[in-house]
Structures are given as structure tokens and as C-alpha cells.
Amino acid sequence: MTKGRRDRARSLVALAARLLPAQRRDWGQAMLAEFDAIQGRWGRWRFALGCARVALVAPRQAGGPALLVRAGVLAGAAAVGLGIYALAPAMAAFAMLFPAVLAGCVWLALLRSRSATGQQGGPGWPLRAVILGGIAGWVGVVMYGVVRYPAMGEFTLWWAVALTAILACYAWMALLPPRFTTSQLAAARRPALVGGLVTGGLGVAGGTVAHLGDVQVLKGYSWLALLVTLVVVGAVAARSSVAARAAAQVRVDAGIRAALQAGVWTGLVGCLILAVGGMSVLYLAPNAYLPTDAYTIHAFQASGLPDIITYEVLDSLSGLTVILLELPLLSAIPAAMGGALAASLSRRTAAP
């Protein structure tokens, strides 16, 4: 037990050292060396927390810009929160939670950008811009639904926490992606971005045409096209990975890792486009989305909501929220299949 606690405290010091600017790398190594010499659980944790505090608030070489950046992050968070509350007072809890979490992600991203490892990997600005824009779009469509259809019910604290947690994951991926999602991202950026735009667009277009034209079979075809797109994205990412052939004898080679990462990033982009685009079309033409199947009509009658459009909006918001959480992970599966196929073909081509 002591060793486990000691390891966690040391991990915190190591994280603080990585967040330091490149010119203070030696100081970070000195922190680790000093930590190893400290005896006692509480003394080690006090030192670790002090190192974390220094890493989070340590000024740049020029103190003025750092102060302005901090003030800008806080002012931006306050503006976002006040804007959400002014437009949708029922979302007061979300207006407090989400800007605070977003500001934390932005601040940690700024710290990473000035650290010794800050520029290694990353999704690149196009993926970041699409994901952050999608986050803003989803917040917008949720706000519109809460204001336009107040009969959906109270936007509870539970909903605020759940929505903040999901969007925080997207913001974290855009601003502070973990290493295991970016190790082969150089080969996956373009396929992931294009694949996400295509999958999200196919989902919105298929659903729209199916409802407006009453051609329900298009829903199935659009999902089939989505799966095929993910397989192609994985194959392209694997083929684009420079290290794929060198690692051909490894069980999970660089090409398949590139495919997995491309699938996750494709899912992130595609889910946001599908969610924002789908809800936007529903708001523009709600009568075209009136359900006719007996199960949905029975569920509406049991819900106690005043009209079926309100029920459809609530059901769509709930379902798409779940999709935002699940689909990026599920997208890795067909992408990995495409990557494995491409890796297999590469091995056969390279064989004498």
C-alpha cells in the first residue's frame, strides 16, 4: 500500500516536471531527485502537491503576457457561462460547470504548449477546430431545445454533470490528447478528418432524406456507408503509416495503431457533425420527424409530455448524447479491421 501511494505521488511530480517549460527541464529532473530522498508519506505528498502548484502557476520568462493569458482564460470562461445563463436560464448549473472545465482544459493546454513535450504529436489545428466548433454547436442545439421546448422538463443537475463530462472528454481530446491516441496520428490526421466529415455528413443526409422523403430504407444504407467509410479510413491510415512495414512482424504494428487512432478521431468528428446536424434538421422541420410506429407512439403516451414533437426532441437529444459517448470508441473497431486488412496486404506485397 505504501509503495502504491509513493508511486502515485511520484507520478504527480513527474507530471509537474513534464509541464514545465523546456528551459526549466533540469529543474524538473532536480525535483524528481529531491522527491526520491524524502521520507514519510505525508512529506512526499506535500512535496508533490507543491511541485504541481509550481508547475501550474509558474510564470513564463516574460511575466506580463502570462498574466494577460490567465486573465483572458478567466474572462472567456466567465463570458461563456454568462452567455449560456442569459440565453437559457434553466441551464444554470451547466453554465457554471462547463465553462470552468473548459477553462481548465485550455489552461492545461497552454501549459503543455510551453513544456518540453508540448509540441510532440497532436491532432493539428483542423481537427481541433472541427471538434471545438462541434462542441459549441452541440451546446447551442441543447440550449435551443431547452428554451424552445420547456415542456421537456427541468434541466437537472444530473443532466448538467453528464453533459459537462461528455463535452469535457471532447475538449480534452482536442486540447490535451493522451499519447496513446496520437502516437501514429501523423499518418491518421487527414483520413480521420475526411472520414469524420463523410460519416457525419452521411448520417445527417441519410436521416434527413429518409424522413423528408419517407424512404426509411435510406437509414440502413447510410449506416452501412458509415461502416464502409470507417474501414476505408483505417486502411488509408495504416497504409500511410511510415512505420507499418518496419513493424510488420509485431502483433499490433504501427499501421494498425494508426488505424485505431484514425477510427477514434473519425468517430469524434463524425459524432459531433451527426449530432449537431441531425438536431438542426429536426428543429427546422419537426413535422417531418413525427413517428408513426406503434412503439414510439406508445412511449410518447406513457411519457406524459404534452405533444409528440416535444417527445421526439427530448428522445433525440437523449439518444444523440449517448451516441456522442459511445460511437467514437465503437468507430475504432471497423477502422482496425481496415487497418489489419491493409497491413496484411502490405506484408503480402513485401514478401519475396
- Report pLDDT digits (tens) over 329-343: 888 888 888 878 876
Describe the chain by its helix, strand, coil percentages, rounded to 5.
Answer: 80, 0, 15
Same domain for 14 and 114: no
| CA 113 from centroid of its chain's CA atoms | 19
| Confidence band, pLDDT 50/70/90 cuts, at residue 57 | low
Instruction: List the Cα angle 8/14/19 in 5-degree steps.
Output: 130
Same domain for 106 and 90: yes
Mean pLDDT of 171-187: 78
Same domain for 97 and 198: yes
Q: Provide the percentage of residues in the chain whose pLDDT is more than 70.
A: 77
Mean pLDDT of 21-38: 75
Same domain for 152 and 43: no
**Among the listed ranges 19-28, 94-103, 159-168, which one has the minimum average pLDDT value?**
19-28
Instruction: List the Cα angle 154/156/160 in 5-degree steps.
Output: 130
| Confidence band, pLDDT 50/70/90 cuts, at residue 146 | very high
Same domain for 207 and 165: yes
Whether 162 shows a pLDDT value over 80: the answer reads yes
Mean pLDDT, the chain, whole residue set: 79
| Confidence band, pLDDT 50/70/90 cuts, at residue 221 | low
Residue range(s) defining the domain that contains residue 275: 66-350
Tell me what pLDDT residue 248 has: 42
Query: What's the CA gap between 130 and 275, in Å, rounded?
Result: 13
| CB within 8 Å of 145: residues ≥ 6 apart | 152, 279, 283, 313, 314, 317
Helices and strands, number each (H, E), in the chain: 12, 0
Same domain for 84 and 45: no
| Confidence band, pLDDT 50/70/90 cuts, at residue 3 | very low
Same domain for 7 and 94: no
| Confidence band, pLDDT 50/70/90 cuts, at residue 276 | very high
pLDDT tens, 303-325? Answer: 888 889 999 999 999 999 999 99
Same domain for 44 and 89: no
Mean pLDDT of 286-306: 83
Tell me what pLDDT residue 268 has: 93
Whether 117 shows a pLDDT value over 70: the answer reads no
Tell me what pLDDT residue 163 has: 94
Which of these three, 58, 79, 96, is where a domain ends? Answer: 58
Q: Give the residue among 177, 174, 179, 185 at the shortest CA–CA distance from 240.
A: 185
Comparing 144 with 35, which gets the higher pLDDT?
144
| CB within 8 Å of 186: residues ≥ 6 apart | 121
| Confidence band, pLDDT 50/70/90 cuts, at residue 103 | very high
Tell me what pLDDT residue 249 has: 46
Mean pLDDT of 155-169: 93
| Confidence band, pLDDT 50/70/90 cuts, at residue 111 | confident
Same domain for 71 and 51: no
Whether 244 shows a pLDDT value over 60: the answer reads no
Same domain for 76 and 39: no
| Confidence band, pLDDT 50/70/90 cuts, at residue 68 | confident
User: Contact 203/226 with Cβ under 8 angstroms?
Assistant: yes
350 three-state secondary structure: helix
Whether 214 shows a pLDDT value over 50: the answer reads yes
* 3-state DSSP of 196-237: HHHHHHHHHHHHHHHHHCCCCHHHHHHHHHHHHHHHHHHHHH
Query: What's the CA gap between 140 and 161, in Å, rounded?
Result: 17
Tell me what pLDDT residue 62 has: 41
| CB within 8 Å of 50: residues ≥ 6 apart | none
Same domain for 177 and 209: yes
Same domain for 295 and 252: yes
- Count of domains in the chain? 2
